[in-house]
Structure 1
């Protein structure tokens, strides 16, 4: 029986703690205002006793991406698959056919191709020089 009485008294203690000293319960605020602060902003004062102002500092500017979310130098995880494939092609180009490289299969074909392209460019230059000379034909 004494345990039951103690249990009832302990259950009533939180209810008694909520009452104000004069016996009336505390009144809840009528208005709660949440404010986000940027940079050097200060928290505004409540306009009435029934108002509660909750302030939170969130960063430098409302128009800037927070430093924690800004990207730094892109690592391998941030590189697109297209760029990764291009890098593999650039690295392997030295050993592919048509590369003019003694390493890899059929590399000499690239050397022949480069010589032909240089010869063709020289022929175009000669024609352009001959066309630029006035009165070259009699």
Structure 2
């Protein structure tokens, strides 16, 4: 008596499982990335595409107030920058050419170069509106 009931239940179980599994929707065929200007609305995508919008006013993930724009500390610089700094310091200390140093031969040839570089730095500071500009 129990055997025919169990047999009937087992036979109908796969049918129930098949009836519950509906065909899945097709995945999107296209993903479109759109960069917007401030005030522009994100366009609507069609049924088979996803639209990802980003704005130009914040191209970075770090907020503008938290970004550090000052000089990079020596411990955070690459070894190539550290080597270049050490090279420049030893050039000045040794009085090599283009160093604007009273020590050594041709040490004075770099004074005009150094004055021009300082002037260019001052002009960049004025254009950028830096508070340290003279």
TM over 0.5: no
TM-score by length of 1: 0.30
Rg larger in structure: 1
